Structure 1
Amino acid sequence: MVLNTMSQTVVLGVIGSDAHVVGITILEQAFSAAGFDVVNLGVQTSQEEFAEAAVAHDANAVLVSSLYGHAEQDCQGFHDVLESRGVDAVSYIGGNLAVGQDDWDRTRETFEALGFDRVFDSETDPEEAIAALRTDLDIRPTESERPRISS
């Protein structure tokens, strides 16, 4: 099934006690500019708030941000909460996910084991996450979005 970007809703927020707002502000602007309907939950968002918003907005994706290094604790059981509410959405997490995050492969594996479909570090360009989401949701560019090839 090929989906149109404009009908795709993403729920975005900073999980747990983290109060870093700059990253999600950038992500909100980038995903909105890319044609997604973005529901920004802000900072210090609980797992339950993510799930409630995903249900209320029939979200296609849940994007979790964390910059203070304690995401592993904040995300324990997160996908159980989503599942218990019937949320069937792609889930991404990104940021500075672990204190002293020096072994990125191990950090990525940790969050994949927690149930996240994709894991991004704090240096990831928003365009990379947008491209990944378009792939994961099988979104194809519309005629007007396709690059023009001149002869």
Structure 2
Amino acid sequence: MAKTVILGVIGSDAHVVGITILEQALRAAGFDVVNLGVQTSQEDFITAADDADAEAVLISSLYGHAEQDCQGFRERLDEAGLDVLTYIGGNLAVGQDDFEETRRKFRELGFDRVFDSETDPEEAIAALRQDLQLAATEAERHRVEG
């Protein structure tokens, strides 16, 4: 059975290209995807994850204000009784010089995985498969082994 993931761009961010590419890659990898689009609130992510009985929430942000947009997100998921993986990726901080520092901040906010804006969708999908303990497809195994 396909695993369901929620995908969207948080806050006031209106950058849509990245999540469109990610949605196509996730669908091709066999995931059911609920794409919430741009300018998505924390509440919308939580409601969608609950309604779809999702296994993961994938948040994108490119405008540099993700830290403010994501404050309290993990706590709100917990309050809603949702046990989902949380991923975030993009240009997460204005003037971001040291991505490891940014990654640390978002891990402290409760995100399971944090990706920079240069991450290939296949890398995120491989991490999702690993975290959900799903077997890789033959093509993915070949990429990893190749």
Q: TM-score, normalised by structure 2?
A: 0.93
Q: CA deviation at 1:84?
A: 1.3
Q: 1:146: Cα distance to partner?
A: 6.9
Say which of 53, 64, 67 aligns to 2:48.
53
- 1:39 partner SS: strand
Matched, 1:92 2:87: yes
Choose the corresponding residue for 1:44, options 39, 42, 57.
Answer: 39
Verify: 1:80 aligned to 2:75, yes or no.
yes
Are residue 65 (structure 1) and residue 60 (structure 2) matched? yes
Q: 1:128 to 1:110 in 2, by over 3 A?
A: same
Aligned residues: 142
CA distance in 2, matches of 1:146, 1:93: 24
Q: How big is each residue's C-alpha offset from its partner over 1:22-74, in whole Å with a ceiling of 9 and x where there is no partner?
A: 01001100100000000000000000000000000000000000000000000
Structure number with greater CO (CA < 8 Å, separation at least 6) is 1
For the aligned residue pairs, the C-alpha RMSD in angstroms reads 1.6
Confirm or deny: 8 A CA contact 2:129 2:136 kept in the other structure: no
SS in 2 for 1:92: strand
Counterparts of 1:83 and 1:22, CA distance in 2? 30
Q: CA deviation at 1:7?
A: 2.0
- Aligned counterparts of 1:143 and 1:19: Cα–Cα separation in 2: 35
TM superposition shift of 1:85: 1.2
After the TM superposition, which segments of 4 or more aligned residues of structure 1 sit over 4 Å from their partners? 142-147
Give CA-to-partner distance per residue, 1:82-135, whole Å, 9 cap, x none. Answer: 111111111000000000111111000000000000000000000000000000
User: In structure 2, how many angstroms separate the alpha carbons of the residues matched to 1:144 and 1:128?
Assistant: 13
The answer to whether the 8 Å contact 2:126/2:136 transfers is no
In structure 2, C-alpha distance between the alignment counterparts of 1:93 and 1:144, rounded to whole Å = 25
Q: Assess, with a 3 A threshold, how the Cα gap between structure 1 residues 145 and 67 changes in structure 2: closer, same or farther.
A: closer
Indicate the percent of aligned positions where both proteins have the same amino acid. 74
Deviation at 1:144, TM superposition (A): 10
Residues 121 and 146 of structure 1: is their aligned pair in 2 closer, same or farther, counting only changes over 3 Å?
closer
After TM superposition, the score normalised by the length of structure 1 is 0.90
Listed as ranges, the gaps of 5+ residues in structure 1 are 1-5
